[in-house]
Every structure is written in structure tokens, then in C-alpha cells.
Amino acid sequence: MQLFVWHPFAALAMAAAFAGLLFLDSYARRPKVVLGVVALVWLAYAGWEAYVTQWRSSSGDMAIRVEMLLLGPVLLVALIVGLATAVFRYKRAVSKTRKLVAAVPGRRVSRESRTGSSSGPSCGAA
């Protein structure tokens, strides 16, 4: 977290990265809400950090940042939740898309359907 203390543009870059994921079509509505909340948390922190940096430059020095005892864990949880949502929900959306494309008539048969792992009715059932 030391990277983001006294560097509001680094926190703003994190907010922009999570906000940028909102524009991908690969995510459903719920992951987009989670990513939006994470982006807002990082944006709020970037604003706070810009304010504190400006205040520090006008008032002198500040030896201890007590608010980081609260903000540090919040930012860490937001980062972990945001990364987990971005990675796992994207993989899930891509795998669903591949399964739908494989089910289109006239397309090549996927490896899963060749092994007989589908639970649909067999050809001989009447």
C-alpha cells in the first residue's frame, strides 16, 4: 500500500483500470456492479490522497497517517475483490460463450461433446 500513499495518481490509475473493465461486454450485470463499486472506492481514495497531499504541502509535514489504519484494509479488500471478480467472472463469461458457439449447427464439434460428456438424450432413445 506504500505505493499509493502520497501518490494520488497511482490510486487514480487503479480506479481507471477497474472502471475500464466496465466497458467490456464479457461481464454480466452483477460483476459490473462489483467492479463499479471497487472503482468508486479507489476513486474516493485518490481524491482523499490528493487532498491530504495538498494539505501536507501547505501545512508542513505529517509524521503519522492514522487514517491509513482504516483505509488500508478497505483498499486491500477492494483490490482483492476487484481482481477476483475481474479474473474469475471473465473466465466464466468466455467459457459460456465458447459453449454457445460450439452448439451452433454447422460449427465444429467441441472436444467436450466428442467425449460424450453431455447429459442430453442419446441418439438411440425414442
Predicted confidence (pLDDT) per residue in 17-71, tens digit: 999 998 888 788 888 999 999 999 999 999 998 988 888 767 766 667 788 899 9
Rounded CA-CA distance 8/11 in Å is 5
Per-residue model confidence (pLDDT) at position 105: 62
Rounded CA-CA distance 116/55 in Å is 66
Flag whether pLDDT at 125 surpasses 80.
Answer: no
- What the block records as the C-alpha cell of 41 is 472506492
pLDDT digits (tens, 9 = 90+) for 81-115: 999 999 888 766 666 666 666 655 665 555 555 55
Per-residue model confidence (pLDDT) at position 126: 46
Per-residue model confidence (pLDDT) at position 109: 53
Which of the two residues, 6 and 82, has the higher pLDDT score?
Answer: 82
